[in-house]
Amino acid sequence: MPRRRLILVRATLVLLAVCIAGTATAQFRRGGLFGARLATPNDFSGHFHFCRLVYQGNGRGGSWTTDFPRADINMSIRLSELTRTKVSFDGSGQPNHLLVRPTSEELFQCPFVIMAAPGSAVFNDEEATRLREYVLKGGFLWADDFWGSFQWEQWVSQLRKVLPAEHYPIVDIPLDHALLRGQFEVNEIPQIPNIGYFVRSGGDTSEQGSDSEIPHARYIADDTGRIMVFMTHNTDISDSWEREADDPTYFYTFGPRGYAFGINVLLYAMTH
């Protein structure tokens, strides 16, 4: 290819990439991203909505889109099948799962919100203040799917903007806690890897080797003992929902435990 033409092609590709990035950024600011959109007041039907937190990240360790949207859809369906929870569905039979930002009023319509890959999150002062208001007013935030010491430390640095350490200690959940006994008896904190790592490693579950060998479930409670923030570290519970149709070995290994764990968490969030 002649040099002049090669330069022109490269310039065109760069311009196209800039345009795409600009369009995506503008779409995000308008409330949508990759075909999704943020919730509005009219989206709430009075039934259960699986709410997901849309946050700004540092680009390390995933993003809010991790496991989206299939984890949200599949868990909503299984919750409606395995419990008496009235889940919101649209006219075509699809669950009405929702996206909310930390600063949106719609967050306060969600008794439960999940935050995927929290080890990459960055909160500004306004976001931290609004999240504090949300959990203190009765909201439940579940932070799932982050691995190793670096991501834990990053998450805690942001969480402490929301709930200061001197007033809100982080506690390991005991296995006899009511959250783990809502509908199913959960006798261990399952370590669930993402499906890609599971397949590539030949069945290993610790995504960061010795730095993530032990899965943890921890929480922060209010003055009454109600859990406000729940954290599942060194495990990816929601990937077991997202991937239920992708690989039979993966699903039968992790799906039943992942759904049992998740349904217990949701029932606790809606009843406490």
DSSP state of 208: T
Q: What value does the mean pLDDT take over residues 227-247?
A: 96
pLDDT score of 71 more than 50: yes
Amino acid 211: pLDDT: 98
Cβ neighbour number for residue 21 with a 10 Å cutoff: 10
DSSP the chain: --HHHHHHHHHHHHHHHHHHHHHHHHHHHHTEETTEE---GGG--SSB--EEE---B-SSS--TTTTTTHHHHHHHHHHHHHS---B-B-TTS-B--EEE-TT-GGGGG-SEEEEESGGGB---HHHHHHHHHHHHTT-EEEEE-B-HHHHHHHHHHHHHHHS-TTTS--EEPPTTSGGGGSSS---S------HHHHHHTTS---TTGGGG-S-EEEEEE-TTS-EEEEEEESB-TTHHHHTTTT-HHHHHHHHHHHHHHHHHHHHHHHH-
Instruction: Give the pLDDT confidence of 7-58 residue by residue, as tens digits.
Output: 333 433 333 333 333 333 333 333 445 557 999 999 999 999 999 999 999 9
Distance between CA atoms of residues 214 and 160, nearest Å: 23
Q: In what helix (H) or strand (E) does residue 232 lie, and over which residues does it extend?
A: strand 227-233
Pair of tokens at residue 14: 């760069």
DSSP state of 105: G
pLDDT score of 4 more than 50: no
Amino acid 221: pLDDT: 98
**Hey, where are the domains in the chain?**
1-30, 37-271
Instruction: Give the pLDDT confidence of 131-190 residue by residue, as tens digits.
Output: 999 999 999 999 999 999 999 999 999 999 999 999 999 999 999 999 999 999 999 999
Q: What value does the mean pLDDT take over residues 95-114?
A: 98
Query: Does the pTM of the predicted model rise above 0.75?
Result: yes
Amino acid 29: pLDDT: 38
In the CATH hierarchy, which fold is given to the domain comprising 37-271? Rossmann fold (3.40.50)
Amino acid 3: pLDDT: 47
Amino acid 36: pLDDT: 76
Amino acid 7: pLDDT: 39
